[in-house]
Amino acid sequence: MFKILKDKLRKVVETFSKKVEEKKEEVVRKVSFRKIEEADVESVMDEVEISLLEADVSLEFIDELKDFLKEELVGKEVKRKEVENLIRETIRKFILESLQVPRIDLKEVIEKAKREGRPALILFFGVNGVGKSLTLAKISKKLREEGFKPLLAAGDTFRAAGDVQLEVYASRLQLPIIKQKRGADSCAVIFDAREAAKARGYDVVLGDTSGRMHTSKNLMEELRKICRVNKPDLKVLVLDSLTGNDVITQLEFFEEAVGVDAIVFTKVDVNEKGGNILSVCHKYKKPILFLGVGQEFDDLKEFNPSEIAESLL
């Protein structure tokens, strides 16, 4: 009888102790934890949004970021002192994930063309003044250093001295170049360069084209013809990182006109935050071949999403 009473008393004590412990944990949790509210997200975003806008990040991206944060975090229970840190870390992760784009290996592009018994053709295009010719020259130098034999094609026959600029770069780099007189058919220049490269044993042709605004109907038709006739292995759009979110308009137009396989952003050395790079990566997921970071032939960087994310934050 005594043993039964003792067991019952023990169970009562254990139940009471458990309830006390649970109550204690509940009180501690209420003091130490709370749910993230929409106002918390908006408070942090008020500061972050200004920084992103100043870095030329698009409003569309910022709106998507806000929606993601609210969906992901509002109502989530965390330690009170960790609320802001968690919101900021979630912003960082979203930005880093947005910067993840497919990779293109130029070596593989060239080697594939070689296996097919022909030189590869990499075509560069974009609006006036973005730095197409210099970008082409930089990449030519890089490819030569990697053991390939590049040939340049001066397809910028519209702009006064457009071919001369590339010829100067070719001379400084001691690279061969195919060119014709101003006003010649740009498509024919690049076609001749392909034929010359094949006959002389060159691995890759890098074709320059005239800078053209998306409003220039005749020049856009010329670019379509170049692509239709020469069938480039890689169509590279060169974008000036200093032109803000106009790069999105340019990309959309060239994508619709001829298709864009990869992008090079220039002048990143004077626009280190790269907000429009983030906007383009997030929306279009186009491979970023390189970043131009100066006027010298070696001023070419691999695209590093982590560096862009850190500079933005």
In this prediction the pTM is 0.86
Cβ neighbours of residue 245 closer than 8 Å, sequence gap 6 or more = 56, 58, 276, 279
Q: What is the pLDDT of residue 159?
A: 64
Q: Which of 98, 129, 146 is the last residue of a domain?
A: 98
Handedness of CA 53, 58, 60, 64 (dihedral sign): negative
Instruction: Give every CB contact of residue 255 below 8 A, 6+ residues apart in sequence.
Output: 284
Average pLDDT value for residue range 30-50 = 86
Give the pLDDT band (50/70/90) at residue 180.
confident
pLDDT of residue 240: 95
For 243-301, the pLDDT digits (tens) are 988 999 999 989 999 999 999 999 999 876 789 999 999 999 999 999 999 999 999 99
Exposed, middle or buried: residue 24 (CB in 10 Å: 0-12, 13-18, 19+)? exposed
CB 211 within 8 A of CB 130: yes
CB-based burial of residue 182 (10 Å sphere; 0-12 exposed, 13-18 middle, 19+ buried)?
Answer: middle
- Interatomic CA distance for residues 204 and 311, integer angstroms: 35
- In terms of Cα–Cα distance, which of 204, 266, 214 is closest to 239? 266
Local confidence band at 31 (pLDDT 50, 70, 90 cut-offs): low
**AA letter at 170:** A
Is the residue at 313 inside a domain? no
What is the spatial distance between Cα 289 and Cα 23, in angstroms, rounded to a whole number? 59
User: Residue 160 has what pLDDT?
Assistant: 57
| DSSP string across 129-194 | TS-HHHHHHHHHHHHHHTT--EEEEEE--SSTTHHHHHHHHHHHHT--EE---TTS-HHHHHHHHH
More confident residue, 311 or 19: 311
What is the pLDDT averaged over residues 39-53?
91
Indicate if 128 and 248 belong to the same structural domain.
Answer: yes
Claim to verify: residue 131 and residue 56 sit in the same structural domain: no
Q: In this structure, is residue 212 part of a structural domain?
A: yes
Residues 161, 50: one domain?
A: no
Domain of 7 in residue numbering reads as 2-98
* 134 plus 261 within the same structural domain: yes
Domain with 12 in it: what CATH number? 1.20.120
Please tell me the distance from the alpha carbon of residue 122 to that of residue 106, in angstroms, as a whole number: 9
> Does residue 82 lie within any of the structural domains?
yes
> What pLDDT, in 10s, does the model give residues 94-145?
999 999 999 999 999 999 999 999 999 999 999 988 999 999 999 999 999 9
pLDDT of residue 175: 96
Is residue 219 one of the residues assigned to a domain? yes
2: pLDDT confidence band, cut at 50, 70 and 90? low
Q: Which of 194, 260, 261, 262 is nearest to 229 (CA)?
A: 194
Q: Which one of 51, 77, 98 terminates a domain?
A: 98
Is residue 163 scored above 90 in pLDDT?
no
Q: Which residue has the higher pLDDT, 160 or 55?
A: 55
Instruction: Give pLDDT, residue 173.
Output: 96
- 309 within some domain: no
Q: Tell me which of 98, 116, 134 is where a domain ends.
A: 98
Residue 312 inside a domain? The answer is no
| pLDDT > 60? residue 158 | yes
Residue where the block lists tokens 């200093």: 242
pLDDT in tens, 51-94: 999 999 999 999 999 999 999 999 888 888 888 999 999 999 99
184 against 10, higher pLDDT? 184
CATH number at 189 reads 3.40.50.300
Structure tokens at 134: 């210099």
Q: Are residues 223 and 266 in the same domain?
A: yes
Residues 145 and 45 in one domain: no
Could you tell me if residue 218 is inside a domain? yes
Residue 207 confidence (pLDDT): 97
115 plus 73 within the same structural domain: no
Q: What percent of the chain has pLDDT over 90?
A: 66
User: Structural domain tally of the chain?
Assistant: 2
Q: What is the pLDDT of residues 212-250, one digit of tens each?
A: 665 567 778 889 999 999 999 999 999 999 998 899 999
